[in-house]
Structure 1
């Protein structure tokens, strides 16, 4: 049975075009929070509605497989309706994070995503260009935004894995954007995927703001994206370790550096690991304090509440997106 194509407007979603234009003018970044389940999505919607922040809810290839593509579509529609019932009209974009093939991106466009990322950063330059261009040509028929990537982030997140970071070459960005037609560009300036971004006990190397500035100079007014931008909140790392976890040495990007990035051409900042840490910390703490509990509503509810708190903090004091919807 052939699946019916669903346009994102039917789900009440928006693409990133207006979001990014406003963020560029207002010198703040749109939060892009990954989710895998109901509790995470509820927390994102509540926190962003209560802080009046636009938001990009995003899923990886692995999350889409985990949650089921049909279920995801209705979860996204439910997220929009939930926000409206709270009394909020915040714009919500559903985004594919790190799409690794044309077929996956096409499937997401056809099932109601309003934005997709095609990550060909591991490919030779011309192959990356060709793949991005193919996705853009398909997605733009339906007004779906497309994000590309130049440069490679170190670390591991779902299917995305690289041992070493390769900084974006500013001299390539103009040609890449012109040839592909992408709507935003993820660059590598020293962030990385996962919870172990830097070596514990050593000074955290500053992000390469010189590369960011040069990209901004070569692409004036063009939306730049930062991946791997979790701060790896030490409060959560300590809580996880206190209640049986083993996350020694987990270090992330300092929030002050993210604030600086958000005030530049960076219009979208991805946060995944911090959300995972908040949820895991609270679930471990709950079982540690009450090992007899077996009601998922109790421990997942505690995790959801903590995630709301974390996201509000990010919107209000790090990304500057609170009050900008």
Structure 2
């Protein structure tokens, strides 16, 4: 069965049709992820924490400011709501990015895991939106700029974004975002190859150690892991595949090829890790979905709505 092509867009390869619509969906996804993460963390206990994992970052989060982190969180959430709608990209988005970055540093002092680091990825993406704000035509600012006040004019603007192909006007945000996310995977892959080293990291024994650790730390069932360890060749192929996906994603992007196979592979990798080992990298899945061709789905919904309207 042949995998459908161009489900995900390599924005480094040029400007595709529908880039503006995709940008609007990406903005909402980034804002939603940021709001969810900020609201899901407990900020008040930071000042009462006896030991810090990274106390050299406390210079940026001194004791006197820690009681105010809760209020800073709500200011950042308000800014992210404005960002989701696309209002005041020029001023509110950079200010909100600074707040999220500071909260990320505060969280990183306690938890240096990828969950905390994802806040910094959100900051990078917000900075790209602020720098190239004139390309976000479907934001609140963009719609005001086009003076499309009427409903029919707004519908025409949305429809025109499906056919947009102006390389200087639509995709810099997602191009920079794609390269940034690919660099994160590249760093993870190269670290495994160099520090593993690669020939040790891909052994069934190494994965077995990870499985034992996951069973004790995350409480996952040992049945699937035990079954998997009975097929050492499959384990080696899977671990080599992880190295290829992580280290090769950036090179594939820079080569201007269709990124769909790599993104689907990375999504499958995250799901497989969640099933076998326990940790679910939800943040990374959202970051990968930013580069889906959402305009396809919007066109399909529009055609379905049109068919329904004609039949009723």
> If the TM-score is normalised by the length of the shorter chain, which range does it land in?
under 0.3
TM-score, with length taken from structure 2: 0.25
TM-score (norm 1): 0.25
Greater length-normalized contact order (CA 8 Å, ≥ 6 residues apart) = 2
Q: Counting strand residues as a fraction of each chain, which structure ranks higher?
A: 1
